[in-house]
Amino acid sequence: MVKKKGGLGRGLGALGLGGATVNKPAKSQENKKEQLHAVKSNDGKSEVSAVTASPQEIEVSKIKVNPNQPRTEFDEEALNALQDSIKEYGVLQPVIVRKTAKGYELIAGERRLRASKLAGKQTIPAIIKEFNDAQMTEIALIENIQRENLNPVEEAHAYHHLLSDYGLTQDMLSKKVGRSRSHIANFLRLLKLSEKIQAMLVEGKISMGQAKPLLAIEDIDLQEKAANFIIDNDLSVRKVEALVKQLLKHPDYFDEKPVDTKGVDTDPAQLFILDAEDKLKMVLGTSVRIKGTGKKKKLEIDFTSQDDLERIIDLLTEKVRANDNAEKLKKLREFSTTGKFNV
C-alpha cells in the first residue's frame, strides 16, 4: 500500500475563514475567472465574506455536498471512528456552509457531515459564509490538501478544474494553493495516464513515483502491461525507470522472454541517492538534485520566488523547531517540579 505524502496547503485561515466583512457573492457564472478574485481586502489579498461568525445548529437533511468537492474516496474505517467519536462527544468543529434557495451547500467538513448522518444526528453545528463557486472550489481543494485527504488523481483533477474552468495560470494557482508550479505540473501530467492506471493510483496499488515514468510510454496497452508488472513484482521507482527505458528501446520486451527484475536494478549507492531525491521532491514539492562524487556532495533545491523559498525553509526547519519546543517544555516541567533549570 502506498503511503500518503505530506500536505503543504495554505490552510483555510489564509482564505479569511477566521472572519471577514460581509459582501454579496457573485451572481453571474459568465466570468468565472473574476469570481476567484471577486472579494478583496484592503491590501489586495483574497478574502472571503462571513454571514455568521458563530456556529448555529442546522438540519443535516438541508445540507447538500459541494458538487466541486475534489475528494471522491472516503476511508470507511476512519469514517466509522469519527462516527463513534461524534456519538460520544458530538461535533467539536463546525462545518462551513453557504445559503442556497432550497437550504445550504457544504463548503468544508464533508467527513463530519457524513459521520454525523451515520451517527443518527439530526442537526450539525455550522458557520454560514458567502462564497461564489470559484471560491468554494479553491477552499475545498486547500482543505483536502492541508489534511492530506486527496489521492494523486483527485488532486490532479482539482487542479485541472481550477485551471480550465476559471482561467487561472499555473503560476496563479501555485500562489493560491501554496504548491510549486512544478508540483502542480507533475500532478496534471498524471491525467495523461490511462484510466486503468489512474484507478491503480486511486486504489493505492502504485505510487505517484512509480506511475510518472510510465508517461513516457505512448502505447496504452504497453503502459498498462508495465503497470501490472510493477505491481506484481513490487518494483522500486528506480527499477520502474530502468524498466521503462528497456520498453522504449524494445516495445516487445515482455513478449520476448520472461523478464528478470534484476536486470532493471541499479547501483545500490546511486539507488540510495535517487531514492533520497524522490523523498525530498515529495516533501518539498519542488525539484531536488543531489550531486557530487566521493565523500563530497551537494544538495540543490529549486524555488520560484521569495515566498516559495520561505515555504521550503519552514518545511526544512519544522522538525528542528518541534524538537526545540519539546526541549523547552521539558525544562519548564522540570522547573515546575524542582524549582531550578538543568542546563
Of 67-71, 221-225, 299-303, 326-330, the range with the highest mean pLDDT is: 221-225
In this prediction, residue 337 carries a pLDDT of 61
Smallest CA-to-CA distance from 69 within 124, 13, 143, 5 is with 143
List the domain boundaries for the chain: 12-23+31-189
In this prediction, residue 12 carries a pLDDT of 45
Please say whether the beta carbons of 2 and 204 come within 8 A: yes
Mean pLDDT of the region 225-244: 90
pLDDT digits (tens, 9 = 90+) for 85-141: 888 888 888 988 988 888 999 888 888 898 999 999 999 999 898 888 777 777 777
Q: How confident is the model at residue 11 (pLDDT cuts 50, 70, 90)?
A: very low
- Name the residue with higher pLDDT: 162 or 64: 64
Please say whether the beta carbons of 132 and 68 come within 8 A: no
Mean pLDDT of the region 253-263: 60
In this prediction, residue 50 carries a pLDDT of 41
Tell me: pLDDT of 265 over 60: no
Mean pLDDT of the region 205-213: 92
Smallest CA-to-CA distance from 207 within 175, 230, 182 is with 230
Mean pLDDT of the region 49-75: 74
In this prediction, residue 308 carries a pLDDT of 85
Tell me: pLDDT of 174 over 70: yes
Tell me: pLDDT of 297 over 60: yes
In this prediction, residue 316 carries a pLDDT of 85
In this prediction, residue 53 carries a pLDDT of 61
Please say whether the beta carbons of 288 and 299 come within 8 A: yes
In this prediction, residue 138 carries a pLDDT of 75
Mean pLDDT of the region 331-341: 60
Q: How confident is the model at residue 148 (pLDDT cuts 50, 70, 90)?
A: low
Bridge pairing between strands 95-100 and 123-130: parallel
- Name the residue with higher pLDDT: 32 or 69: 69
In this prediction, residue 141 carries a pLDDT of 73
pTM comes to: 0.52
Rounded Cα distance between 314 and 136, Å, is: 27
In this prediction, residue 336 carries a pLDDT of 59
Tell me: pLDDT of 14 over 70: no
Quote the cell numbers at residue 89: 462527544
Tell me: pLDDT of 16 over 80: no
Residue 138 annotated in active site = no
3-class SS at 305? coil
In this prediction, residue 40 carries a pLDDT of 36
Q: Which of 47, 105, 110, 155 is catalytic?
A: 110
For the domain made up of 12-23+31-189, give the CATH fold. Answer: 3.90.1530
Rounded Cα distance between 183 and 185, Å, is: 5
Rounded Cα distance between 85 and 89, Å, is: 6
CA 83 distance to own-chain centroid: 24
